[in-house]
Amino acid sequence: MKTPISATFVPMGIFSPRKIQKGIPRTRKPYPAVPVADENEALDRRALSALAKCKSMPGDLLWPGKLVWKVFDLLTGGALIKTVPFGAVCFPGERYDANECSRIVDNWTNSDTHLNLRLVIRNTGHDFLGKSTGAGSLNIWTHHLKNIELLKDYKSAGSYSGPALKVGAGVQVFELYKAANKYGYTAVVGECRTVGVAGGFTAMGGHSPMSPIAGLGSDQVLSVDIVAPDGRFITANEKQNAEIFWTVRGGGGATFGIVTSLTVRVWPKMTFSGVTWSLSSEEAGISKDLFWEAMRIYWAKFPEYNDNHTYGYSTLFSAGPGKYLWSMKPWLVPSMELPEFKAMVSPLFKEWKEIGFEIEPEWFTHDNFYDTWKNHFPTESVGASTVRTASRLIPRKNFEDVELLNKTMDTVQSIVEDGFVLIQYNINGAAPKNVASSALNPAWRDASPAEILATNKKITNDWMERLREVTPRSGGYGNEGDVMEPNFGQAFYGSENYKRLYALKKKLDPWGVFYAPTAVGSEDWEIVKVPGLLDGLLYGDLLETLSSWLTLQTGRLCRK
């Protein structure tokens, strides 16, 4: 079942085993669940002791029957959508069909508090770590909350006064950029057009081409409308529900509540100037040693470029022994004219030329970001069943200290040559003035480039470990991180932040309403394999390999 559009709340009705009544403290023990099911529905009478610590799944004794779902649908204003997976024909039940199952398998290419259900918040589904999916779950689908409202003279609960946009939880990057441009402003969101602005992007910080001068996406948030774990619909800002306001700006999504809208500050329109290029070292006749010498010269200048508020986005990967493909797409600066930008990068190009390394730059300038973004940020595919991501924020000192720079460069070179795809963002994540304290990972404030790695093996204990060794007290970007990160609390949130976030999770959501992989408090839960599920069906011999590096969300969610 999925709740779309209008179902942006968590109804706490008569069927909730953890109903909260007026005047009763939230620390009171939850009411016991009442088994409700139709006679014609198969009931798997597993041990109640096991069910007590797990979220219910279809077929369980405590799974709601059709009557309960009908009543629940009425309580949500007819907002439930019953989902029937294609694979239902392969499992025992009224939909079982051996012939149809065989056809699907042969052509397979894609792989809460109410009644103790697992609750999953789904915005766009654009999540590398599986936060927006879960077997047997009730999905809160916020994708169709598309309202965008201009608040021209907004006065925040804090120190900000000026233009702002109130955006629904389903608004995506391309929609916000377009609206901001129409109103004469610049929004601070990401480069990928389909990302949901109010989802994990803001919740984990959210880097942007505007970040060098405006900070991260979470720095723009002035107010949040959110459904809290106890079912209350509240507004959170610096003075009202301040704890939740702190958590949802950098403390991770899908764990402290369901965001229905954000109010974010916007910036004036401004000029953007920059450059793009694509280089094949083989076609250009560039040797391995020359290529990495050129990269070292470029990386050594990162602190200078950070100080000049540049944003660089590039991809680099090996095309064979000693061969590399490097694409800059793009390197730009907000609020800088093209002659000034060319003057800033000319020393780099001069040094490159002196060592025999030359590129063919394509310069550009626009008087607004919307045109910059449309023309110079290519549409890209997102995710694949054979690819994982991981990320590391590299501190400024790694580029200022020559010895540490060389060690960092050697590490990056070694993993690229091992087959790792490097997606590099040269971003300064420093906060602008007068931004309220947030749960953002402190490692962002000292980062130069954020490295995102894409591959399907060796990532956690080999490649990422090499990067951890040269950045021992840094972290990673949780939205593009490794789902198997061994110390995700420190890496994605910062050690001290995580202690506070975990305490607030226990205080605000003592029932464990919200869970997501690598989210705050997720270490208290585990995905338990359901016997027979997926065995030899979807992945065949790959299943054992996949489960060794991926937190499959196809099992039962249970407390440890």
pLDDT per position as a tens digit, 417-469 = 988 888 888 887 666 666 777 777 777 676 665 656 555 557 777 888 888 99
Question: Residue 454: its pLDDT value, please?
Answer: 57
pLDDT tens digits, one per residue of 273-295: 999 999 999 999 999 999 999 99
Average pLDDT over residues 535-559: 56
Q: Picking from 412-416, 532-536, 542-546, which range would have the lowest pLDDT averaged per residue?
A: 542-546
Pick 538 or 314 by higher pLDDT.
314
Residues 480-518 have pLDDT tens digits of: 888 888 899 999 999 999 999 999 999 999 999 999 999
pLDDT at 307 over 90: yes
The secondary element (H helix, E strand) that includes residue 557 is strand 556-559
Band of pLDDT at residue 169, cut at 50, 70 and 90:
very high
What global pTM score does this model have? 0.81
Sign of CA dihedral 178, 179, 183, 187: negative
| Strand ranges inside 15-147, DSSP E | 118-122, 137-141
Does pLDDT of 181 surpass 50?
Answer: yes
| Separation between Cα atoms, residue 394 and residue 446, nearest integer Å | 8
Other Cβ atoms closer than 10 A to 32: 9
Give dist(CA 352, CA 424) in Å, integer.
20
Is the pLDDT reported for residue 111 higher than 50?
no
Q: How many CA atoms lie within 13 A of 220 on its CB side?
A: 34
In this prediction, residue 551 carries a pLDDT of 55
What does the block give as tokens for 31?
């009411």
* Domains in the chain: ranges and CATH: 148-268 (3.30.465.10), 272-493 (3.40.462.20)
Phi-psi region of 5 (alpha: psi -120 to 50; beta: other; left: phi over 0): left
Residue 285 has a pLDDT of: 96
Question: CA-to-CA distance for 118 and 131, rounded, in angstroms?
Answer: 12
| 330 cis-preceded (ω within 30 degrees of 0) | yes
Task: Say which residue, 41 or 57, is predicted with more confidence.
Answer: 57
Closest CA to 262 of 243, 237, 240: 237
Give the span between the Cα atoms of 232 and 389, in whole angstroms.
35
Listed in sequence order, the residues at least 6 apart from 551 whose beta carbon sits closer than 8 Å to its beta carbon are 130, 483, 484, 517, 527
Rounded Cα–Cα distance for residues 410 and 372 (Å) = 34
238-241: Cβ within 8 A, 24+ apart: 238/156, 238/157, 238/158, 238/436, 239/157, 239/158, 240/157
C-alpha–C-alpha distance, residues 197 and 368, integer Å = 20
**Cα–Cα nearest to 197, from 222, 217, 224, 178:** 217
The residue to which tokens 């597993």 are assigned: 46
Task: Give the per-residue pLDDT at 95.
Answer: 74
- pLDDT on residue 359: 95
State the Cα–Cα distance between residues 57 and 95, nearest whole angstrom.
Answer: 17
- Write the DSSP assignment of 143-164 as a string of letters: TT---EEEEEEEE-SSS-EEEE
Share of the chain above pLDDT 70, in %: 78
What average pLDDT does this structure show over 207-236? 93
Tokens linked to 396: 């400024």
What Rg value do the Cα atoms of the chain yield, rounded? 25
Burial environment of residue 511 by CB neighbours within 10 A (0 to 12, 13 to 18, 19 or more) = middle
